[in-house]
Amino acid sequence: MSSEPASAAFDLPLRVEAADIDEQGHVNNVVYLRWAQEAATAHWQALAPPEAQANTGWVVLRHEIDYKAAAFLHDEVNARTGVGAARGAIFERHTEITRGAARELLAQVRTLWCPIDPETARPKRLSREVRAFFSSARESRE
């Protein structure tokens, strides 16, 4: 990963399906973003306590993506994600999408996320315990 995650990296294995393919015969660019979001969601569900999951939603503030190589129908790919720094209510996440056992790099994604209260859709603060799972040691204090 381009930035060292605070928690262990989380892997989400994926397979390229026909619906992922665009007119050029390779995976459409927006699919890489979908995979990054699916990996982040699966990581949250695997790590966060049930109460935090029930009381916290997440919205994306920004995606940055660098495409390195194309993926094709039936490729076995992996979305590896880990957390970066947190600043106030902004949480950074890094995702690398690779192909096969050789882990050929297909895309690198940096996403900024904001936790929200699901009832009000307003930004919310996370407990220290949850912040510790989803922010790196580089975190700046609120």
Sign of CA dihedral 34, 105, 112, 138: positive
pLDDT category at 60 given cuts 50, 70, 90 is: very high
- The three-state secondary structure class of 18 is helix
- Show the domains of the chain with their CATH numbers: 10-133 (3.10.129.10)
- The model's pLDDT over 74-109, given as tens digits with 9 standing for 90+, comes to 999 999 999 999 998 999 999 999 999 999 999 999
Percent of residues, the chain, with pLDDT higher than 70: 91
- For residues 128 and 142, give the distance between their C-alpha atoms in angstroms, rounded to a whole number: 11
Which residues face 94 on adjacent strands?
Answer: 82, 110
Instruction: Check residue 53 and report its DSSP letter.
Output: H
Are the beta carbons of 85 and 28 closer than 8 angstroms? Answer: no
Task: State residue 7's pLDDT score.
Answer: 58
- For residues 114 and 125, give the distance between their C-alpha atoms in angstroms, rounded to a whole number: 9
pTM as predicted: 0.88
- The model's pLDDT over 99-137, given as tens digits with 9 standing for 90+, comes to 999 999 999 999 999 999 999 999 999 988 888 878 875
